């Protein structure tokens, strides 16, 4: 059986994985405290967003602007603007902790009561 999440090749991700990362960021942005971890579909197979982020944690490709904007909405535009260029790996390392149930209360400032 073929692996659902394609692997990286010398640090580079196929476009399928890059698109899944963008979709996973959008799902993370919409995730609410009371819900289970969201998933994205890759070839019509559901994959948890944290699995996508972990797979991309070694990716040396540059994050495109459209994806940077979604990342900025999650972690804050000041974090995104502070870096001239952001790699997928760096973005993944910023959002992986947000998927951990033990840190869910610290997710985003916009969700604090």
Residue 63 burial by CB count (10 A; 0-12/13-18/19+): exposed, middle or buried?
Answer: buried
Structural tokens at position 74: 């999650």
Does residue 90 form part of some domain? yes
Burial per residue of 9-42, b for 16 or more beta-carbon CB atoms within 10 angstroms, e otherwise:
eeeebeeebbebbbbbbbbbeebeeeeeebbbeb
pTM: 0.84
Domain residue limits at 102: 15-111
Does residue 4 form part of some domain? no
Does residue 2 form part of some domain? no
CB atoms within 10 A of CB 86: 19
Does residue 75 form part of some domain? yes
Choice between 36 and 112, residue whose per-residue pLDDT is larger: 36
Q: What is the pLDDT of residues 8-19, one digit of tens each?
A: 889 899 999 999
Q: What is the pLDDT of residues 48-107, one digit of tens each?
A: 999 999 999 999 999 999 999 999 999 988 888 887 789 999 999 999 999 887 655 444
Domain count of the fold of the chain: 1
């Amino acid at each position: 059986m073929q692996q659902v999440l394609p692997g990286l090749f010398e640090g580079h991700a196929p476009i399928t994985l890059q698109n899944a990362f963008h979709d996973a960021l959008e799902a993370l942005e919409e995730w609410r405290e009371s819900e289970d971890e969201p998933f994205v579909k890759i070839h019509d197979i559901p994959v948890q967003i944290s699995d996508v982020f972990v797979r991309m944690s070694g990716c040396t490709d540059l994050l495109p602007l459209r994806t940077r904007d979604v990342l900025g909405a999650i972690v804050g535009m000041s974090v995104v603007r502070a870096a001239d260029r952001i790699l997928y790996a760096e973005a993944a390392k910023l959002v992986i902790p947000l998927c951990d149930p033990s840190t869910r209360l610290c997710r985003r400032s916009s969700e604090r009561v």
